[in-house]
Amino acid sequence: MKILGISHDVLICSACVMVDGEIVSAIAEERLDRVKQSRVFPRRAIQSCLAAAGLGMADIDEIAVGWNPAIESETTPSSQLNSRRWRTEHWLQVPGQLMQMAGAPAALETSLRNLYSGAPPVTYVNHYWAHMGMSFMLGPQEEAAILILDGRGEKDTVLLAHGRGASIRTLSETRFPHSLGLFYSAITQFLGHKPDSDEWKVMALASYASGDNEFYPPLRGMVSVTPEGRLQLDLSWFEFFNFWDSRMYSDRMVQALGAPRAKGSAYSERDMKIAAAMQRVFEEVAGELLHILHRMTGSANVAVGGGCFMNSVFNGKITAVTPFANCHIGFAPDDSGTSLGAAAWLHAQRTGSKPKPADNAYLGLAYDDERIARTVAGFKLPNARREADVCAAAAADLAAGKILGWFQGRSEFGQRALGNRSILADPRRGEMKDAVNAAVKFREGFRPFAPAILAEKTTEYFETDENGGVPYMEKVFQFREARRAAVPAVVHADGSGRLQTVEARHNPRFHGLIARFGELTGIPIVLNTSFNLNGEPVVETPEDAIRTFYACGLDVLYLGDWRIAKA
């Protein structure tokens, strides 16, 4: 059974191909059209995934889409169905109007057939069920409680469920506009950042607040949770449900918190405290939902998904602050992962069994040595040579204080670089954090970098007993105090690190590089961040890598087996 998964008109559009329950290729459109958070229809991604899988459109049995416009149209004002957006999808006007006239709720899936001769059926999957497909269906657990949290789906903003095999039972739903994700986005905008994009800046900034926080009580009073697990906001503080207003927060919030921070201005102690208060409220509310979910299910396992679980600070605390013993978070809990989740959900519906767990994120495109050699020759690079032992050469460069571009194998799926499209540096050098932020990433100096560590060394450096590892940079843990001084470039202001545990079975070359660096320095960790400039997508092709290399302060680029230096 061959399924094409599509995620479109969401924050990051993407596509995947699943064959007999296994994801064989997946990529976000932004990697190919070079537009950060690209929201166009993922035509390039679809073509690339099909080519990587050795398939054509005629070979596809079904198409799964991670958004159900029938559910959205169910509550869309009838006058808006005639707007430009809905006219561009004019087939929806007839079912949308008829559904509203009938007063019947939309089904969780909506299918469309006979688009063209021999076309496979297209099934539109409820957005939150697509998130559950990514978090639970593609996860390792056969049974788990499930929590989905993001800004909003077609109608939902919170979903509590219980999964067993290919079956999922809904336990509680919260509907728009009561949304924890949009609450966080409103504070992101209030602090002068772009909502639905820069929330992790708020998360990072929160660590710099100190002393009593007078902003916590008003923010905490804006949200509550019912005993049934439903979220409730005091909407008088917000405007995000008024679509004609570009502000997400109301005048009441301005009166209570003061003037919003101007974009580009220096951060005040007040800004840091507001960020810290928002992070604390987020953690308390999400924790309360998880406690309710555990009471409902009694499960030892939980699978979580939705863009809110890009909050790695909270992710690292879940098993410590809730009764759950095991927590699974996939490599793409955000909207980009719903192409994979929709395919996984559809596979489960059609076959009655879960698909194969997606146990690594290296699902993108690969570029063989011939392609790389041709690219190097085409750019006429004077300081390029093949290395017999790439890991040894790169480890020596890192130990000498050079900042590396690292381009290897298949690209990662998701928003985090995991050792195939990465920028790497020596974590022992405290100045590296500022150097990479200022000269390479061109971003705020307070933002931290991830320590990529040999999985077998994790507990020596971090206060965690995570048996399953942290392969996707999805969780933050505290460094052991005795180890912090050894790796200052990857220790955040609060003593934490958003770690990535690297296993040889998933990425032998990256594991080999870190091991060689450990042999040279005694430190089995490298600083790892995504291979891109601020405001750009992560590099995808060899050409992208070379252009980015020469546009910033990187010293050396490792492109497959090639070492390219600027001097």
Q: What does the block give as tokens for 382?
A: 């004077």
Q: Please state, in angstroms and rounded to a whole number, the distance separating the CA atoms of residues 503 and 453.
A: 9
Look at residue 437 in the predicted model and tell me its pLDDT: 84
* C-beta separation of 192 from 263 below 8 A: yes
Instruction: Label the pairing between strands 450-454 and 384-386.
Output: unpaired
Out of 289, 319, 351, pick the residue that ends a domain.
351
Do residues 344 and 325 both lie within one domain?
no
Domain membership of residue 86 (yes or no) is no
Indicate the residue type of 139: G
Look at the alpha carbons of 339, 345, 349, 351 in this order and tell me if their dihedral is positive or negative.
positive
Do residues 305 and 342 both lie within one domain?
no
Do residues 315 and 422 both lie within one domain?
no
Q: What does the block give as tokens for 423?
A: 């920028």
Instruction: Label the pairing between strands 22-28 and 556-559.
Output: unpaired
Look at residue 87 in the predicted model and tell me its pLDDT: 44
Q: Please state, in angstroms and rounded to a whole number, the distance separating the CA atoms of residues 289 and 231.
A: 9
493 contact partners, CB below 8 Å, separation of at least 6 = 207, 208, 446, 448
Q: Please state, in angstroms and rounded to a whole number, the distance separating the CA atoms of residues 567 and 561.
A: 18
Q: Please state, in angstroms and rounded to a whole number, the distance separating the CA atoms of residues 202 and 540.
A: 28
Closest CA to 168 of 134, 198, 137: 137
Q: Please state, in angstroms and rounded to a whole number, the distance separating the CA atoms of residues 15 and 342.
A: 10
Do residues 257 and 308 both lie within one domain?
yes
Closest CA to 340 of 327, 359, 325: 359
* C-beta separation of 290 from 317 below 8 A: no
Domain membership of residue 161 (yes or no) is no
Q: What does the block give as tokens for 331?
A: 């490599």
Do residues 45 and 113 both lie within one domain?
yes
Do residues 406 and 531 both lie within one domain?
yes
Q: Please state, in angstroms and rounded to a whole number, the distance separating the CA atoms of residues 258 and 223.
A: 20
Instruction: Label the pairing between strands 301-305 and 143-149.
Output: parallel
Beta carbons within 10 angstroms of residue 37's beta carbon: 18
Beta carbons within 10 angstroms of residue 91's beta carbon: 11
Q: Please state, in angstroms and rounded to a whole number, the distance separating the CA atoms of residues 27 and 29.
A: 7
Do residues 250 and 394 both lie within one domain?
no
Beta carbons within 10 angstroms of residue 90's beta carbon: 10
Domain membership of residue 424 (yes or no) is yes
Do residues 561 and 506 both lie within one domain?
yes
pLDDT by residue (tens digit) across 168-207?
999 999 999 999 999 999 999 999 999 999 999 999 999 9
CATH of residue 494: 3.90.870.20
Assign 394 to helix, strand or coil: helix
Domain membership of residue 164 (yes or no) is no
Domain membership of residue 130 (yes or no) is yes
Q: What is the pLDDT along the chain (567 residues), one digit of tens a residue?
A: 999 999 988 889 999 999 999 999 999 999 999 999 998 889 999 999 999 999 998 899 999 999 987 777 766 656 555 555 544 454 454 455 555 555 666 666 777 776 677 788 889 899 999 999 999 999 999 999 999 999 999 999 999 999 999 999 999 999 999 999 999 999 999 999 999 999 999 999 999 998 899 999 999 999 999 999 999 999 999 999 987 789 999 999 999 999 999 998 999 999 999 999 999 999 999 999 999 999 999 999 999 999 999 999 999 999 999 999 999 999 999 999 999 999 999 999 999 999 999 999 999 999 999 999 999 999 999 899 999 999 999 999 999 999 999 999 999 999 999 999 999 999 999 999 888 888 887 777 778 889 999 999 999 999 987 566 899 999 999 999 999 999 999 999 899 999 999 999 999 999 999 999 999 999 999 999 999 998 999 999 999 999 999 999 999 999 999 999 997
Do residues 499 and 462 both lie within one domain?
yes
Do residues 346 and 374 both lie within one domain?
no
Domain membership of residue 373 (yes or no) is yes
Do residues 129 and 189 both lie within one domain?
no
Domain membership of residue 163 (yes or no) is no
pLDDT by residue (tens digit) across 145-154?
999 999 999 9
Domain membership of residue 454 (yes or no) is yes
pLDDT by residue (tens digit) across 334-386?
999 999 999 999 999 999 999 999 999 999 999 999 999 999 999 999 899 99
Range of the domain at 185: 174-329
The runs of H, that is alpha helices, within 16-68 are 30-33, 43-53
190 contact partners, CB below 8 Å, separation of at least 6 = 248, 249, 253, 257, 260, 261, 274
Q: What does the block give as tokens for 565?
A: 């230096």
Number of domains in the chain: 3
CATH of residue 292: 3.30.420.40
Using the CB atoms, write b or e for 360-386: b if 16+ within 10 Å: bbbbbbebeeeebbebbeeeebeebee
Out of 269, 297, 329, pick the residue that ends a domain.
329
* C-beta separation of 526 from 533 below 8 A: no
Do residues 255 and 379 both lie within one domain?
no
Q: Please state, in angstroms and rounded to a whole number, the distance separating the CA atoms of residues 35 and 12.
A: 10
Beta carbons within 10 angstroms of residue 426's beta carbon: 25
Using the CB atoms, write b or e for 509-530: b if 16+ within 10 Å: bbbbbbbbbbeebebbbbbbbb
Look at residue 90 in the predicted model and tell me its pLDDT: 44
Closest CA to 130 of 116, 145, 109, 107: 109
